[in-house]
Chains A and B, each alone.
Chain A
Amino acid sequence: MKNAEALLDSRRLMNSRLPKFELNEDDAAEGGCGVVGLACEIPVAGRHLFNSLEQMRNRGNGKGGGVAMVGLDHEQFGVSPEILKNDYLYAVAYLDDSVRKDVEEQFINSNFDVDHTHEVPTMENWQELENLDAQPPNVVCYFIRPKPSAVQKFLSDGNLSESDFPSKKAMWDELLFQNTHKLNVEYYAKEQRADAFVLSHGQNMIILKIVGYAEDVIRYYRLDDVTAHVWIGHHRYPTRGRVTHPGGAHPFGQGVDVALVHNGDFSNYVSVKDYLGQRGMEPLFFTDTEVAALGFDLHSRVYGYPMEYVIESLAPTGELDFVMLPDEKQEVYEAIQKTHIHGSPDGPWFFIIAKADGLTHQLIGITDTSMLRPQVFSYQRGEVGIAFCGSEKQVIDAVLESLSSEDKRFWRRCDEYWNARGGSYTDGGSFIFDVNPDEKGGHELTMSNKFGAIVDTHPEGNFEIEPAAMESGFDWPSEWTAIDIFPQIVSTFPAFDWPAARGLLSEIGSHASQHSRRQAVDLLCLLLNRKYDTGTLRTSRWLDCVEDAIMGILNHAGTTPCEYFSGQKSPGHLPEPQNPSQAIVVDARPYPIEGTESLARELVALYRTGWRNFVVTHCHGHRFIGNGFGMETSDVRIDVFGSVGDYLGSGSDGMTIHMHGNAQDQVAQIHKAGTLVVHGDVGQCYGYGAKGGRLFVQGNAAGRPMINSVGSPKLVINGTALDYLAESFMAGDPLEGGGFVVVNGLQFESDGEISELDTPYPGGNLFSLSSGGAIYVRDPTNVLSSSQLNGGEFVELTDADWDVIQPLLVENEEHFGIPLARLLTVAGEMQPPSAVYRKIIPLKNKALSVEDSWAGKH
């Protein structure tokens, strides 16, 4: 903005003329939330979010749900393409229809030319939706342009001139903003009347929200077939019980052209509110999300900061990450932090923002500096590009599942899933997905991070699947085992085209029906879990086919049990095992995610019936798998397929769990004994309070792995951890049987080759405040520095150390095919372990050393 101060002054003037209103502070509470966002090159219909939102209900409590859409279909709103493009879409929620005439007179018709009025259609009877306590508001969309006379009045009322604004659009935006504020004060805040309020004001975008679950927004407003390029769906979990007003639900549309949702809450709501108050902004809806939306609008539209700086003002870069920034950036960031620290929301949050930016439809995900909320980003790039961010992987997969069932251009697995590293120098903790018009009249998705670096990897490989050939051409020996035949398949695989590859799957499928399901499944699991060169095939789509093949075999276990696999006839059916090694296949789909009827409890019931081997298929967020079995479960093995929910394998005392894919948050909490193998990445707080056992992660761990662990847990992470690895680690001396973490800092290239990450550990907090145990980092070139430690020190790796970690790395090789020899190879040369691994041990805490030395002597 050319003259931001003049603009803020005009707001102060406006406020001084508005009626005074009582704040209803009662609504200020906010809990956690569940959220999914997507940006797609083609319009996506609302129904595809339906299952995703329904599966995420447990992250909300039915007291607030909403959706935002950017990049609409003009026909669905009854306007011409030009009107959709050029007018503002002003969406007003009427809780009391009788005020509509007055609102229109006062705030719409007097200030704007209305090109079209569109009443959002609704279900006839809201009571059919059993989760609703109150009728959702009627929503009217006005397609409007400011009247010249209204512009003149706006300027003179606010002591502004046109030259204060960089463009006409900027001027109109502010007019719109102030119009909305006045309307909301008059019809919402004043005397707490809550008769009407503005849902959103922007171009080519709309917000709809209710007191209920988000999927009921889709139902009630008949959005099943309504399309948009960018969607956000949000479940709210307000901490107060009787929140009966949709004004408090997300998304918040205070910013012009912006819809913002938020997962978490701030501890400095009051400070942010005051910061805004000093800048002439008065929140009306009393949730921290509203102030976040106002803050975002202030920084991006009023101050005109580029997105990078807006993000910095929300999630400041700190500690080591700050030091790692180039000098020029440090200077700017420091200035931003100094100026806006009081407007920077502190506390656990994850923002997802949908933004209409001219012809660009934008989705932005920003994670807080400490990464305290669950978040995952992903994309798929087939003929159509689509990108996601959400609270958990399963909500993304649910959208893809729905899309792919209707539209063969999509498949069920993203090309990549990842977590952002909040407030970091690497990705800035945020990703921006832009859908731009392309020359061919379609749209193109680009993905960048906070720093504007394009992160599009445009993965290679043919995603256009073709039917299976009669023969794959692979030369099967008459007898084989999975582990022996797998290397042979991998070596011929790069030459396979789709017909051959799918032919191979049919051959494995017929092996299953004619010989051994066990062998077939074992081999398919290797094809699913291991990293190898998929040649001309798009890896994610191939893996989708492999998983499908596994499911094809296992789905029959219930109707035609074999020596190896049996199944349930229906939920609640508890057959008995025919032999001790027979596994029961449990289809997760009919089971609730948690609670007394949950999948987790069913597994316990089956365990009590005598089962020791379990194969769980089709998970979509099911939590607590492997929990509740009690002590001494070393004869138990659980294999899990699909998108597992939180707390996998928590509390296990001896069981073996294989997660065939990524795991989520709180995996292996208080893990006591046994083996947990994750053929993918793990989420937040992995191994929190773990006491023992052997844990293996093929890829990365998100924030806070192994925090507060004690005793003897042993963990191998082959990728890296985002931050706070092994904070307050309190295990014993590894050389005396105590616990430790091995970080290999590796990644897999698309051809399956292993390579080193730029740094084995990017975070600023490694082994902080620990009092026992050790970390072994594969860091042959000494990339890590002691500034990343907080209470730890680097020491030489001894032979005794190697004797402790080597057996674990051998087991690691068995699980993931990551050769021990490769780990010891640096730049093509085999090196001794001490030249490859570095050991970190806790520094004796000075404050405690007197006590400790006393204790040591006695």
Chain B
Amino acid sequence: MAKSKLPVFPSETLIHKITHLMHDGMDARTSGEFEIPPALGDARWTDELILSTWHMAATGTLPDNLNYKTGESNGGFDRLDFKLLDEEQWLKHSEDIKTSIPLNRRGDHRKKLSPAIPIYGGGMSYGSVSVNVMMSRAIHAKNWNTYMSTGEGGYPEELYDCRDHVITQVATGLFGVEEKSIQAAPIVEFKYAQGAKPGLGGHLLASKAGEEVAKMRGSVPFVSLFSPFPFHSTYSVEDHSKHIDWVQTINPDALISVKVSTPHDVDMVAVGSYYAGAHIIHLDGGFGGTGAAPEIAKKNIAMPIELAVPKVHKFLIKEGIRENVTLIASGGIRTADDIAKAIALGADGVVLGTSDLVAMGCTRCSNCEGGPSGRGCPWGLTTTDIELQEWVQQEWAVKRLDNYYTALQWRLRDILRKLGLSDVKELVGRTDLLVYTRSDLK
């Protein structure tokens, strides 16, 4: 595993001491032992949302006295609520309320994949996060029979243990993309642009592109790496379909996911992707992104996912192909309530990235690029610094993710039963079950 390759620094004692303190600190915050730190969170990821995520990750249950449903952005998901039935019409809370979704709706010969929950893990590449974080997410995905994406930094050898649950991403830089990882993948994800930075491509500064990262990407240590904005070989839908054919020549069994950002003509992009051969259309809206996405980019370019999802959903219906494709939403989805709202707006499921990080201890401090030291996240999440990455211990992190998803699933079932639905698939596109709340009524 990764650790055997690393030098014996930092010492076991130090790791133990620091992680112990960190974990205790986190638990102390959520249990209400201390007051909420004044600078924690922002309007979208409020202090209460961060703390409730930590609570769920620690206990697998919903917190009693924290708002775990919405943030305070005054827009989007935060202004939507459910039209719940009267209490006497609620279904009983039960494991029988189905949360599984099929990913291959094309009806072709390829794999029939059905994750247990309408969620899988979004791409966070090796380099932007450590192997520990990737492995934790992969093992967790395996536990939940779902998937996580490599991001574009290549496929660390360790991940092959979980190969049936790892999505290989093919992004514009083509870093670390090789036939082996395409052949191993149940799903191959094409990333055309990401919502947090549409039009900007990806970048990894030289300081974070150290030995291990460079090896994975087939590059050279400490050379800054850029992913171009477009695929240089893909300037039209026809190229796009050729690109998909390419991957299918290498792995004829894999499902194809096309991840696109949400420009105003996203509906047309989605239809084009379907005709080019996609099984999954993954819309990445404007509010995702780790702290590495430039602030101005994170907020201002793409269409919010709350607008993009219904637009695409309706257009796919109009084109008569909605039944044949899986629509996945990501970008700024924080809570089980957000998930249910995204589905009611027209998605089949969602991709989570940031929330996974928060479950593992992220404070949303936006220091992912690591400030002047360049070492990355002080909590050991978005870093490949040999010392810092040790603060995330796999066993601990997997447990936290599992707990977190248990709570998400519980809350999802809770919403479904209160809407009188016994299957998450029945919720798709049910905008009639949503209400727009006034800003003065929180």
Listed in ascending order, the chain A residues whose CB lies under 8 Å from chain B are 29, 31-34, 58-61, 237, 239-242, 263-265, 347-348, 372-373, 594-596, 598, 600-601, 604, 623-624, 627-631, 646-647, 650-651, 653, 665-666, 669-670, 672, 684-685, 688-689, 691-692, 704, 707-708, 710-711, 728, 730-733, 738, 769, 771-772, 845, 848, 851-852, 854-856, 858
Are A61 and B275 in touch, CB under 8 angstroms? yes
User: Whose C-beta in chain B lies nearest to the C-beta of A600?
Assistant: B249
Contact in complex: A689, B220 (CB < 8 Å): no
Q: Which residues of A contact B177 (CB under 8 A)?
A: 670, 689
Query: Given A685-B232, A689-B177, are A242 and B320 also a contact pair (CB < 8 Å)?
Result: yes
| Cross-chain contact B236 with A241 (CB below 8 angstroms) | no
Write out the residue numbers on chain A whose beta carbons fall within 8 Å of the beta carbon of B319: 240-242
Please name all residues of chain B whose beta carbon is closer than 8 Å to the beta carbon of A32 when the two chains form the complex: 235-239
**From residue 186 to 231 of chain B, which have CB atoms closer than 8 A to chain A?**
205-207, 209-210, 217-220, 222-228
A390 vs chain B, min Cβ distance (A): 14
Most A C-beta atoms less than 10 A away, residue of B177, B223, B251 = B223
Q: Is the CB of B246 within 8 A of A650?
A: yes
Give the distance in Å from the alpha carbon of A848 to the alpha carbon of B373 in the complex: 14
> What's the minimum C-beta distance from B419 to chain A, rounded to whole angstroms?
32
Say yes or no: is B174 at the interface (Cβ < 8 Å to chain A): yes
Which of these, A60, A672, A856, contacts B178 with CB under 8 Å?
Answer: A672
Flag if B220 contacts A730 (CB, 8 Å). yes
Output the least CB separation between B37 and chain A (Å).
Answer: 30
In the bound assembly, the distance between CA atoms of A629 and B182 in angstroms comes to 12
Tell me the complex Cα distance, A710–B172, Å.
13
Nearest CB in chain A: distance from B324 CB, A = 11
**B354 in the interface, Cβ–Cβ < 8 Å?**
no
* Cα distance, A647 to B242, chains bound together (Å): 9
Instruction: For chain B, residues 131 to 189, give those with C-beta under 8 angstroms from any C-beta of chain A.
Output: 172-175, 177-180, 182-183
Q: Are A685 and B233 in contact (CB under 8 A)?
A: yes
Instruction: Determine whether B271 belongs to the interface, using a CB cutoff of 8 Å to chain A.
Output: yes
Whether the pair B236, A631 counts as a contact (CB closer than 8 A) is no
Chain B residues in 8 Å Cβ range of A856: 222
Instruction: Report whether B237 and A733 are in contact in the complex, using a CB–CB cutoff of 8 Å.
Output: no
Q: When the two chains form their complex, are residues B249 and A598 in contact, meaning their CB atoms are under 8 A apart?
A: yes
**B245 contacts chain A at the CB level, 8 A cutoff:** yes
6 contacts between A and B (CB under 8 A): A264-B236, A623-B246, A628-B249, A691-B178, A732-B220, A852-B222
- How many interface residues does chain B have, given as a range? 35 or more
User: A594-B245, A852-B207 given as contacts; is B271 within 8 A of A240 (CB)?
Assistant: yes
| Interchain CB contact (< 8 A) of B242 among A29, A58, A707, A854 | A58
Point out the residues of chain B lying under 8 angstroms from A240, CB to CB: 268, 271, 319
Q: How far is it, in angstroms, between the C-alpha of A730 and the C-alpha of B272 when the chains are bound? A: 32
Partner of A666, one of B233, B240, B269: B233
A653 touching B179 by the CB < 8 A rule?
yes
B182 to chain A, nearest CB (A): 8
Contact flag A31-B226 (CB < 8 Å), given A242-B320, A628-B249: no
Contact of A31 (CB < 8 Å), options: B210, B224, B237, B246: B237
In the complex, what residues of A have CB within 8 A of residue B179's CB? 627-631, 651, 653
Known: A653-B178, A672-B218. A241 touches B321 (CB 8 A): yes
Give, as a whole number of angstroms, the nearest-CB distance from B26 to chain A: 29
Is residue B252 within 8 Å, beta carbon to beta carbon, of the partner chain?
A: yes
> What B residues does A651 contact at CB under 8 A?
178-179, 182, 250
If A240-B268, A738-B220 touch, does A852 touch B228 (CB 8 Å cutoff)?
no
Contact code string B50-81 (vs A, CB < 8 Å = 1, else 0): 00000000000000000000000000000000
Given A32-B238, A239-B272, A242-B320, A707-B232 contact (CB < 8 Å): yes
Which of A59, A348, A596, A651 has the most C-beta atoms of chain B within 10 angstroms of its own C-beta?
A651
Contacts of B275 in A (CB 8 A): 61, 239, 241
> For the complex, is B102 an interface residue (Cβ under 8 Å from A)?
no
Tell me whether A31 and B249 are in contact (CB under 8 A): no
Question: Given that A237-B238, A264-B235, A669-B233 are known contacts, is A707 also in contact with B218, CB under 8 Å in the complex?
Answer: no
